[in-house]
């Protein structure tokens, strides 16, 4: 945990430096009508950098606990975390093709199978019915267009 | 000799496929009818003028059965319209996406450089013009309790006041309202204090609450306050008086000896490279829409100038409008470096 | 207006609202609105905008009753996802997640929901009475609030939040500043310049805090639960109507919080420049400062649900006041309703009260009726909503992910927001594990934009001089009050410990 604390604080400090750089592209001074557009971003990012530096200092000063430092994520926790996380990345990355309904249905089916270990029949029912219900709610009744993806667009409108 | 027929079959199959691929867009025919809901992009947030109009017109279109598919207003307010404009380029060729515009179509690309995905600089020429529907007017409003009954009295007061002590509220920054203020400043040789607000409603509220001395709100944004006796119109920035009941008594700037004119485009654009048949469909649809009773009523209440225009004349008008906005913004020092 | 004519008009309005047709419309609107509030991405603003076309064929009175009922319904519904899934459906239900979700996790979703609905109702009902009797003078008063006054009110909101973080002061300061910094991303309204966008056009609309909150709270929570890997079965909590009675028994204890939340919410809702969100945060912050069990806040304290919900619903009512009396939208939802006025052939403005008696008093009458019916509807559904907590995690988790994505996308209709949501989810997970407080970040993100805008508008009005905050009497009063609140924790600990240990006192303030 101590190492994770230090690493996180260092990453945040580095991030703050990037923010300072982005803020410097704007006028950061005090103009005739009050602060310029970069005034707040600049001083806030300086403040963020100082706070991050303070967290780094503090976390370094905490004496290391005797024995092995507890890991940030237990080795046994990696697998369930990645099973939840990586498919999310994949579905969002493929949003253009799958859309939210088909992509969401696949995610639901996958998660129910590999984590929930539900029976295949309920898995199929749930992962088909929920996206279909959502489709009708958002696209048909509330006419709120969501990304439908190439496949669904083709099935709905191009045939 | 087994190879020949195989090759021939392969050739003819690929030829047919090629033909079908080429033929499909052509065979979509001269008449276009939408096959799916039409997405009506609004380059501004909910509650603003463009939003109100799209949300007003969409149900009128449905009520008069002008389209077999519904029109769905979708707000894309990012970057003072930039997000919506780029969206219309991303949707290139799509006949089911249109855009309602306000003058940020001209002002935003001047105030900042919007880059297309291919690196070129965006301008309205990247979109497909469909029609000009209305021109929105601007009126100079002061508070009803103020001593200024005429533009001349206001001018005298503005010139007598110390620099920057007369405050004006306006929508956004480097857009229509500020352009008009700069024109007034240059005509009178005065210096106003421009305070940007997020929307027309907030601007009107600032005047009613006496936070500022004047605004150039659109008629629709201020009509309720006028009827309630809280604000007073001094002049309209239109080329001629608006010929509706209460509005026709407001003199134009020209009559009062000031050569300042500004009207805002309320028009419709299609995606980049929208098929010609689709453009024809929308032109026809909006022409019919403009003749409905509901629109006539809306035009009167909002003191709009009805200005339906399409085709090459519309494009010519757009060129002139663009040049004039650019000129005004250069004059006012509002363009991107 | 004298009192008698108000009663006369009110009776007339109740009569209008109680005609069978209007009653049916109100019930339909309420049910629809609750569904809209539950579904992420479909907030009150969206819901009202989507229903606007349907009102074309109705009379103006029926139309405004429908839209207003949808709005009340969505206010009730917004609390449901906050409590059950830790996903705030609306900006003002963020504060409801702070204590509502921990309660649900402890197997008491029924109590959290009942507390939310009941306090919403009380806040709304008292506000409606205030609305009925004092609408015109209050609207006059609200007009006196320009940018300097709004800035002073927002300072007051920040002041109520000192000490919210707890734990490491460096981390609290870091998160607050980061939230403020995120709020500067996007278009600078004063200069018209896009800023802090790293070259992404999609970032120019700013980082929407609903997207961030869905990620930080909703997805972050899922990652934490997954890691613990314990409860694949869902939480078994007691379900039934017994929760209602049990929650109501607690309510008399919270009378001070309820009164404070209602007054704060209603009054801030009436101000056109601010709205329900700061009201809910202020109410929560003050409840925590004045509560005897302030250390229990954030861990599942019922009072922490009561405070923001009372204020949010009171503000929802208050926001309609400037709309009806002056034609000025007090919130985004009111702005969309105002668009409806034109569709129905009405001009919003001060004349409505005189010329459109049926419309105005029909709406006020329906506020009474619809809120009573609304709270009955949602309370009868408490067991049903609470049962959602029992859905096995293997189904619930991916379902929350899908609903979160829809909600995040619907805010600005742009795919980049899904990545921002996912990134915030990971950040939320890491921050929670390393004990970085999330609440200050979200509060700062929400209030930051309004605050900077009000500050810079004020400075322009004062031609660069900050003296404008002390020369305007209303602004001065609020600035003084917020200065007092900022110093309150220090004063308290100084008096508790006695003089001579000032160093300790400042440490307390930061903690």
Which of C55 and C184 is assigned the larger pLDDT?
C184
Predicted confidence at residue B2, as pLDDT, reads 41
Residue A54: closest CA among chain C residues belongs to which residue? C170
Residues B106 and B167 in one domain: no
How far apart CA B99 and CA B271 sit, in angstroms, is 8
Q: Please report the sign of the dihedral spanned by the C-alpha atoms of residue A143, residue A146, residue A149, residue A151.
A: negative
Question: Where residue C44 falls among pLDDT bands split at 50, 70, 90?
Answer: confident
Residues B219 and B78 in one domain: no
Most confident of B37-46, C281-290, C495-504: C281-290
* C-beta of residue C363 within 8 angstroms of C-beta of residue C15: no
C379 CB contacts (<8 Å, ≥6 apart)? C114, C117, C118, C244
Nearest to C405 among A58, A100, A137 (CB): A100
How far apart CA C289 and CA C283 sit, in angstroms, is 10
Contacts across the A-C interface (CB distance below 8 Å): 164
Q: Mutate which of B72, B74, B78, B333 to disrupt the C interface (most C C-beta within 10 Å)?
A: B78
Q: Mutate which of B58, B75, B77, B224 to disrupt the C interface (most C C-beta within 10 Å)?
A: B224
How far apart CA B225 and CA B244 sit, in angstroms, is 18
In chain B, residues with a C-beta closer than 8 Å to the C-beta of C348 are 224
Instruction: Print the SS3 string covering chain B.
Output: CCHHHHHHHHHHHHHHHHHHHHHHHHHCCCCCCCCCCEEEEECCCCCCHHHHHHHHHHHHHHHCCCCCCCEEEEECCHHHHHHHHHHHHHCCCCCCEEEEECCHHHHHHHHCCCECCCCCECCHHHCEEEEEEEEECCEEEEECCCCCCCHHHHHHHHHHCCCCCCEEEEECCCCHHHHHHHHHHHHHCCCCEEEEECCHHHHHHHHHCCCCCEECCCHHHHHHHHHCCCEEEEEECCCCCCCCHHHHHCCECCCCCCCCCCCEEEEEEECCCCCHHHHHHHHHHHHHHHCCHHHHHHHHHCCCEEEEEEHHHHHHHHHHHHHHHHHHHHHHCCCCC
Least confident of A76-80, C48-52, C395-399: C48-52
Identify the domain containing residue A115 by its residue range.
75-158
In chain B, residues with a C-beta closer than 8 Å to the C-beta of A157 are 35-36
C476 CB contacts (<8 Å, ≥6 apart)? C152, C469, C470
Residues B104 and B191 in one domain: no
Rounded to 5°, angle at Cα C491 from C489 and C493 = 70
Rounded to an integer, the average pLDDT of C135-154 is 86
Q: A66 in a domain, yes or no?
A: no
Name the DSSP class of C291.
-
Predicted confidence at residue C231, as pLDDT, reads 56
Question: Where residue B148 falls among pLDDT bands split at 50, 70, 90?
Answer: very high
How far apart CA B224 and CA C328 sit, in angstroms, is 9
Chains in contact with A, where contact means 3 or more Cβ–Cβ distances below 8 Å, are B, C
Predicted confidence at residue B36, as pLDDT, reads 80
User: Taking CB atoms and an 8 Å limit, are A157 and B36 in contact across chains?
Assistant: yes
Nearest to B198 among C45, C188, C189 (CB): C189
Predicted confidence at residue C88, as pLDDT, reads 82
Strands (DSSP E) contained in C30-119 are none
Nearest to A92 among C180, C419, C459 (CB): C419
The alpha carbon torsion through B119, B122, B128, B132 (nearest 10 deg) reads: 170
How far apart CA C380 and CA C244 sit, in angstroms, is 10
Domain CATH number, residue B203? 3.40.190.10
Q: Tell me the pLDDT tens digit for each residue of A15-73.
A: 888 888 888 888 888 776 678 888 889 999 999 999 999 988 888 887 776 666 677 88
Percent of chain B topping pLDDT 70 = 89
Is residue C92 exposed (0-12), middle (13-18) or buried (19+ Cβ within 10 Å)?
buried
- Do β-strands B167-171 and B214-215 pair in parallel, antiparallel, or remain unpaired? parallel
Which of B34 and C56 is assigned the larger pLDDT?
B34
In chain B, residues with a C-beta closer than 8 Å to the C-beta of C319 are none
Nearest to B74 among A145, A156, A157 (CB): A145
Rounded to an integer, the average pLDDT of C184-206 is 76
Predicted confidence at residue C162, as pLDDT, reads 66
Q: Is C1 on the interface with A (CB under 8 A)?
A: no
Q: A70 in a domain, yes or no?
A: no
Q: Tell me the pLDDT tens digit for each residue of B14-33.
A: 544 444 444 444 444 457 88
Q: B278 in a domain, yes or no?
A: yes
Predicted confidence at residue C23, as pLDDT, reads 93
Predicted confidence at residue B60, as pLDDT, reads 87
Q: B20 in a domain, yes or no?
A: no
Predicted confidence at residue B3, as pLDDT, reads 46
Residues A82 and A48 in one domain: no
Rounded to an integer, the average pLDDT of A146-153 is 86
Name the DSSP class of A19.
H
Residues B132 and B271 in one domain: yes
Predicted confidence at residue B249, as pLDDT, reads 92
Residues B75 and B145 in one domain: no
Predicted confidence at residue B171, as pLDDT, reads 82
Rounded to an integer, the average pLDDT of B196-209 is 84
Kindly list the distances between the CA atom of residue C168 and the CA atoms of B184, B186, C433, in Å, as whole numbers in the listed order: 55, 56, 14
Q: Tell me what the pLDDT averaged over chain B comes to.
A: 84
Whole-complex ipTM = 0.92
* Residue owning tokens 């506020």: C367
| Domain count within chain A | 2
Domain CATH number, residue B310? 3.40.190.150
How far apart CA B231 and CA C425 sit, in angstroms, is 49
- Do β-strands B38-42 and B97-101 pair in parallel, antiparallel, or remain unpaired? parallel
User: Taking CB atoms and an 8 Å limit, are B224 and C342 in contact across chains?
Assistant: no
Q: Tell me what the pLDDT averaged over chain C comes to.
A: 84
Residues B132 and B270 in one domain: yes
Q: How many other C-beta atoms lie within 10 A of the C-beta of residue A60?
A: 13
- Stated length of chain B: 337
User: Taking CB atoms and an 8 Å limit, are B220 and C348 in contact across chains?
Assistant: no
User: Taking CB atoms and an 8 Å limit, are C392 and A134 in contact across chains?
Assistant: no
| Domain count within chain C | 1
Rounded to an integer, the average pLDDT of C177-188 is 87
Rounded to an integer, the average pLDDT of C149-178 is 81
- Do β-strands C193-195 and B167-171 pair in parallel, antiparallel, or remain unpaired? unpaired
Identify the domain containing residue C137 by its residue range.
3-510
Predicted confidence at residue A3, as pLDDT, reads 83
| Closest CA of chain C from B114, distance in Å | 9
Most confident of A19-33, B56-70, B273-287, C335-349: B273-287
In chain C, residues with a C-beta closer than 8 Å to the C-beta of A110 are 398
| Closest CA of chain A from C458, distance in Å | 9
Q: Tell me the pLDDT tens digit for each residue of C48-81.
A: 877 877 787 788 899 999 999 999 998 888 889 8
Q: Tell me the pLDDT tens digit for each residue of C259-298.
A: 999 999 998 888 876 677 888 988 998 898 888 888 888 8
User: Which residues on neighbouring strands pair with residue C99, listed in sequence order?
Assistant: none
Contacts across the B-C interface (CB distance below 8 Å): 163
Residues of A at the B interface (Cβ-Cβ below 8 Å)? 143, 145, 156-157
Contacts across the A-B interface (CB distance below 8 Å): 10
Question: Where residue C301 falls among pLDDT bands split at 50, 70, 90?
Answer: very high
Predicted confidence at residue B47, as pLDDT, reads 62
In chain A, residues with a C-beta closer than 8 Å to the C-beta of C178 are 48
Residues B109 and B45 in one domain: yes
User: Taking CB atoms and an 8 Å limit, are C415 and A92 in contact across chains?
Assistant: yes
In chain C, residues with a C-beta closer than 8 Å to the C-beta of B223 are 347, 349
Percent of chain C topping pLDDT 90 = 29
Chains in contact with B, where contact means 3 or more Cβ–Cβ distances below 8 Å, are A, C
Q: A28 in a domain, yes or no?
A: yes
User: Taking CB atoms and an 8 Å limit, are C171 and A47 in contact across chains?
Assistant: no
Radius of gyration of chain C (CA): 22
Predicted confidence at residue C422, as pLDDT, reads 95
How far apart CA B217 and CA B194 sit, in angstroms, is 14
How far apart CA A14 and CA B108 sit, in angstroms, is 34
Question: Where residue A150 falls among pLDDT bands split at 50, 70, 90?
Answer: confident
User: Taking CB atoms and an 8 Å limit, are A108 and C398 in contact across chains?
Assistant: yes
Nearest to A115 among C173, C394, C422 (CB): C394
Rounded to an integer, the average pLDDT of C299-327 is 90
Backbone angles phi, psi at B72, to 5 degrees: -115, 110
Residues A91 and A152 in one domain: yes
Predicted confidence at residue B223, as pLDDT, reads 84
Q: B8 in a domain, yes or no?
A: no
* C-beta of residue C76 within 8 angstroms of C-beta of residue C373: no
Name the DSSP class of A34.
E
Q: In the listed set B201, B220, B249, which residue is the last one of a domain according to the structure? A: B249
Nearest to B224 among C348, C412, C413 (CB): C348
Residue C395: closest CA among chain A residues belongs to which residue? A112
Predicted confidence at residue B222, as pLDDT, reads 86
How far apart CA C360 and CA C132 sit, in angstroms, is 10
Q: A69 in a domain, yes or no?
A: no
How far apart CA C90 and CA C78 sit, in angstroms, is 6
| Closest CA of chain A from B119, distance in Å | 21
C412: which 2 tokens? 């600005």
Residues A57 and A79 in one domain: no
Which of C1 and B200 is assigned the larger pLDDT?
B200
Model confidence at C495: pLDDT above 80: no
How far apart CA A97 and CA A104 sit, in angstroms, is 12
User: Taking CB atoms and an 8 Å limit, are B39 and A156 in contact across chains?
Assistant: no
Which of C356 and C363 is assigned the larger pLDDT?
C363
Restricting to C residues 128-167, those with a Cβ less than 8 Å away from any Cβ of A are none
Residues B99 and B47 in one domain: yes
In chain C, residues with a C-beta closer than 8 Å to the C-beta of B333 are none
Residues A94 and A136 in one domain: yes
Q: In the listed set A20, A36, A61, which residue is the last one of a domain according to the structure? A: A61
Q: In the listed set A39, A61, A83, which residue is the last one of a domain according to the structure? A: A61
| Closest CA of chain C from A34, distance in Å | 5
Rounded to an integer, the average pLDDT of C176-192 is 83
Residue B194: closest CA among chain A residues belongs to which residue? A33
| Domain count within chain B | 2
Residues B101 and B129 in one domain: yes
How far apart CA C329 and CA C332 sit, in angstroms, is 7
Q: A68 in a domain, yes or no?
A: no
Residues of B at the A interface (Cβ-Cβ below 8 Å)? 35-37, 39, 70, 72, 74
Identify the domain containing residue B308 by its residue range.
38-136+263-332
């Amino acid at each position: 945990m101590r190492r994770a604390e230090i690493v996180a604080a260092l990453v945040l400090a580095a991030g703050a430096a990037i923010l300072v750089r982005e803020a410097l592209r704007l006028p950061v001074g005090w103009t005739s009508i009050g602060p310029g557009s970069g005034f707040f971003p600049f001083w806030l990012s300086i403040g963020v950098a100082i706070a991050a530096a303070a967290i780094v200092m503090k976390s370094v000063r905490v004496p290391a606990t005797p024995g092995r430092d507890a890991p940030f994520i237990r080795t046994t926790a990696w697998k369930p975390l990645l099973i939840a996380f990586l498919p999310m990345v994949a579905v969002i990355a493929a949003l253009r093709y799958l859309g939210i309904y088909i992509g969401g249905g696949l995610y639901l089916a996958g998660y129910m199978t590999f984590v929930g270990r539900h029976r295949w029949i309920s898995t199929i029912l749930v992962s088909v019915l929920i996206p279909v219900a959502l489709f009708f709610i958002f696209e048909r009744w509330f006419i709120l267009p969501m990304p439908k993806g190439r496949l669904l667009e083709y099935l709905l409108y191009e045939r | 000799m087994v190879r020949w027929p195989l090759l021939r079959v392969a050739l003819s199959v690929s030829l047919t496929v090629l033909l079908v691929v080429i033929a499909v867009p052509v065979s979509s025919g001269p008449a276009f009818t939408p096959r799916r809901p039409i997405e009506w992009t609004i380059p501004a947030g909910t509650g603003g003028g463009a939003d109100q109009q799209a949300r007003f017109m969409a149900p009128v279109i449905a009520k008069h059965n002008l389209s077999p598919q519904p029109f769905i207003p979708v707000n894309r307010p990012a970057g003072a319209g930039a997000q919506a404009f780029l969206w219309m380029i991303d949707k290139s060729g799509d006949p089911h996406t249109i855009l309602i515009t306000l003058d940020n179509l001209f002002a935003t690309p001047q105030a900042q450089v919007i880059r297309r995905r291919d690196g070129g600089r965006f301008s309205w020429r990247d979109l497909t013009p469909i029609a000009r529907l209305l021109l929105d007017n601007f009126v100079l409003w002061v508070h009803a309790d103020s001593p200024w009954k005429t533009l001349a009295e206001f001018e005298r007061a503005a010139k007598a006041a110390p620099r920057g002590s007369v405050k004006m509220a306006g929508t956004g920054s480097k857009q229509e309202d500020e352009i008009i203020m700069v024109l007034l400043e240059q005509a009178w040789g005065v210096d106003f204090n421009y305070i940007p607000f997020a929307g027309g409603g907030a601007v009107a509220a600032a005047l009613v609450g006496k936070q500022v001395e004047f605004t150039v709100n659109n008629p629709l944004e201020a009509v309720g306050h006028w009827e309630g006796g809280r604000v007073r119109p001094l002049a309209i920035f239109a080329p001629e008086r608006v010929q509706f009941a209460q509005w026709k008594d407001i003199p134009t700037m020209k009559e009062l000896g000031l050569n300042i004119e500004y009207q805002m485009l309320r028009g419709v654009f299609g995606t980049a490279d929208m098929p010609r048949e689709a453009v024809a469909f929308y032109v026809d649809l909006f022409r019919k829409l403009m003749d409905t009773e509901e629109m006539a009523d809306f035009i009167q209440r909002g003191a709009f100038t009805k200005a339906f225009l399409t085709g090459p004349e519309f494009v010519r008008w757009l060129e002139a409008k663009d040049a004039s906005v650019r000129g005004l913004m250069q004059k006012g020092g509002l363009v991107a470096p | 207006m004298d009192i008698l004519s108000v009663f006369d008009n009110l009776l007339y309005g109740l009569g209008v609202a109680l005609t069978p047709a209007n009653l049916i419309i109100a019930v339909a609107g309420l049910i629809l609105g609750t569904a809209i509030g539950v579904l992420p991405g479909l907030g009150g603003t969206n819901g009202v905008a989507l229903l606007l076309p349907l009102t074309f064929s109705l009379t103006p009175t029926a139309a405004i009753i429908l839209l207003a009922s949808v709005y009340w319904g969505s206010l009730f519904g917004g609390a449901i996802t906050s409590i059950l899934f830790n996903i705030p459906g609306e900006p003002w239900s963020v504060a409801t997640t702070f204590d509502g979700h921990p309660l649900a996790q402890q197997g008491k979703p029924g109590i959290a929901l009942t507390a939310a609905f009941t306090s919403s109702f009380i806040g709304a009902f008292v506000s409606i009475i205030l609305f009925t009797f004092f609408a015109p003078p209050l609207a006059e008063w609200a007009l006196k609030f320009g940018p300097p006054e709004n800035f002073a009110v927002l300072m007051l909101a920040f002041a109520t939040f000192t000490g919210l973080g707890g734990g490491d002061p460096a981390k609290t300061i870091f998160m607050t500043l980061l939230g403020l910094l995120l709020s500067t991303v996007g278009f600078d309204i004063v200069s018209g310049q896009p800023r802090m966008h790293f070259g992404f056009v999609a970032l120019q609309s700013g980082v929407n805090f609903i997207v961030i909150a869905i990620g930080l709270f909703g997805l972050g929570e899922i990652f934490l639960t997954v890691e613990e890997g314990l409860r694949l079965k869902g939480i078994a909590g007691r379900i039934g109507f017994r929760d209602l009675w049990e929650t109501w028994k607690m309510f008399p204890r919270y009378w001070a919080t309820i009164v404070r939340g209602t007054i704060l919410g209603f009054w801030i809702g009436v101000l056109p420049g601010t709205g329900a969100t700061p009201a809910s945060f202020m109410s929560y912050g003050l409840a925590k400062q004045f509560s005897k069990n302030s250390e229990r806040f954030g861990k599942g304290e019922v009072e922490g649900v009561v405070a923001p919900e009372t204020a949010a619903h009171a503000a929802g009512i208050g926001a309609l006041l400037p709309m009806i009396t002056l034609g000025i939208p007090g919130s985004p939802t009111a702005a969309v309703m105002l668009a409806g006025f034109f569709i129905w052939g009405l001009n919003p403005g001060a004349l409505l009260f005189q010329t459109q008696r049926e419309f105005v008093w029909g709406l006020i009458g329906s506020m009474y009726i619809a809120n009573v019916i609304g709270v009955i509807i949602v309370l009868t559904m408490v067991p049903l909503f609470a049962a959602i907590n029992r859905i096995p995690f293997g189904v619930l988790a991916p379902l929350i992910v899908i609903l979160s994505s829809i909600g995040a996308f619907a805010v600005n209709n742009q795919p980049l927001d899904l990545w921002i949501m996912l990134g915030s989810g990971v950040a939320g997970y890491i921050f929670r594990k390393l004990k970085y407080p999330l609440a200050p970040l979200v509060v700062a993100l929400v209030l930051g934009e309004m605050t900077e805008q009000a500050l810079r508008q004020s400075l322009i009005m004062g031609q660069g001089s900050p003296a404008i905050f002390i020369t305007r009497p209303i602004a001065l009063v609020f600035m003084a009050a917020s200065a007092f609140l900022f110093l309150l924790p220090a004063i308290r600990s100084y008096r508790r410990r006695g003089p001579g240990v000032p160093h300790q006192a400042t440490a307390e303030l930061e903690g």
